[in-house]
Amino acid sequence: MTEATTRPNARKTREGVVVSNKMDKTAVVEATDRVRHRRYAKTVQRAKRLHVHDEENTLGVGDRVRVQETRPLSKNKRWRLVEVLERAK
């Protein structure tokens, strides 16, 4: 993309771990976010389960992946696979 055609809001990216790959062309990725509690100032972990489009069905449970926000692909699927950071051992 050129400078003039860049998106006004960059698409969100998240890193997470694949927790399920039982669906066809879809994986469930759990993205953990560390946030500071407003009152107690303690760091709290919040997990979100994202449905990710996996065109080639290459993901396995335990893989660390980077995903990116995209248009709605189905009822629950709003993320697509960008890259596999680490394969499960």
pLDDT in tens, 28-77: 999 999 999 999 999 999 999 999 999 999 999 999 999 999 999 999 99
pLDDT band with cut points at 50, 70 and 90 for residue 9: confident
Domain 22-86 carries which CATH code?
2.40.50.140
d(CA 28, CA 16): 10
